[in-house]
Chain A
Amino acid sequence: MSGSNHISRRDFMKVTTGAIGGIITAMVGLPVIGYLIDPALRAGSKEAKIPIGKLEKIPVNVPTPFSFTRTQVNGWERTGTSYGGYVIRKSEDPKDILVLSSRCTHLGCTVNWREESGDFTCPCHDARFSKDGKVLDGPPPKPLNQYTYEVDADGNLLILFKEG
């Protein structure tokens, strides 16, 4: 038989068993990879405009806190997540506004405005941010995040919120 195109019965069994085993493994194994990483692929970024309030009611030059809650569906469960921030009107000009997130850029704790020292402080690692969000002291790697905003025809301040 040697030198011919024929393969021995034993080799045929080996190859067939290996091939069938490989096909079965792939048929189960490949979908399972998709099954396991599915939630990571699913995280779609949803955008929403969130009304904060009438611009005329927000005082000028005083960081004014706001907060809102977003409901997310995670698998079979709904989770409410709270977000917050500060609106700072630098002047009467409706375009001269800064909307800061109160989420510390270090590890995600919530910063608070302190009127007496005029800065935002983070309770977790004593980080301090200036009134316009720049890092003054502590471990944060970058300034406080800013929300994009718009003022509609009725004078409502809306912020653009991106999930994730």
Chain B
Amino acid sequence: MWQKIYQWLDERLGLGDMYANLLDRPEPTGNWWNTLGSASLFLFILQGATGIFLTVYYTPSPDHAYDSIQYIMNGVAFGWLVRGIHHWGATLMVLVVFIHMLRVFITASYKYPRELTWLIGVGLLVLTLGMGFTGYLLPWNQKAYWATTVATQIAGTAPLIGDFILKALRGGPDLSALTLQRFFAAHIWILPAALVGLIGIHLYLIIKHGESHFPTKED
């Protein structure tokens, strides 16, 4: 029965070919540090799923943002769990992505022909930090408000275009409803879309070039 369903799907989708070409590839001898990329991908998917669920109740408006999160934490069944995973997953993802970068640097895996994978990976790290930065404002509590005030102020100290950057980030000279709304848009639409695109290229390059061998003593 299942065999038949699988065969029907396989004939049309080419599942077997996909497996053979994408997943069934040679790997260098096992090393746990090589799993950090997969861990990052897992955390990204987890953050995406819990983030989507949070938008069911979260409201990006100065009047309701704080109250809606209080409701998620205390009112909705398992709201504390969904937000807790999103909250701690965010911290963990920054950490894992950063250690992933360190590992690639230390094992010199960024060398030919994998320079593009490295460059895109740096872009992914920056986008991950951007997700952390924009997500931090959304609870709209004192910590979020002042952290964003300070961080946008720091961005505003850039020479010549500093004032422009500050206003572009805040949507005006001060933190306001516009700031919250554009941080929300960046957090759930713009940055995730960029992340998905770059992750796609990153994974394609890994499949194309395979993973680099762990350097030996002679290297």
Footprint of B on A, CB under 8 Å? 28, 31-32, 34-36, 38-39, 41, 75-77
Contact = CB atoms under 8 A, between A and B. Distances in A.
B82 interface: yes
Interface in B66-119: 67-68, 70-71, 75-79, 81-82, 85
Given A28-B85, A76-B68, A77-B64, A35 B77 contact: yes
Given A38-B77, A76-B75, A77-B67, 7 more contacts: A31-B77, A32-B78, A35-B53, A35-B82, A76-B64, A76-B67, A76-B71
Contact of B49 (A28, A41, A76): A28
A23 to B, nearest CB: 14
Chain B interface mostly: helix
Q: Which of A32, A36, A39 has the most CB of B within 10 A?
A: A32
A76 B50 CA distance: 20
B165 interface: no
Contacts of A32: 53, 78, 82
Contacts, number: 41
23 contacts: A28-B46, A31-B78, A31-B81, A31-B82, A32-B53, A32-B78, A32-B82, A34-B78, A35-B56, A35-B77, A35-B78, A35-B81, A35-B82, A36-B53, A36-B56, A38-B76, A38-B77, A38-B78, A39-B76, A41-B77, A75-B71, A76-B68, A77-B64
Contacts of B82: 31-32, 35
Chain A interface mostly: helix
Interface residues of B, number: 19
A35 B76 contact: yes
B204 interface: no
Q: Which of A28, A38, A41, A76 has the most CB of B within 10 A?
A: A76
A77 B75 CA distance: 12
A129 B58 CA distance: 43
Contact of B57 (A34, A41, A75): A75
A27 to B, nearest CB: 9
Nearest to B52: A32
Q: Which 3 A-B pairs have the closest CB atoms?
A: A76-B67, A31-B78, A76-B71
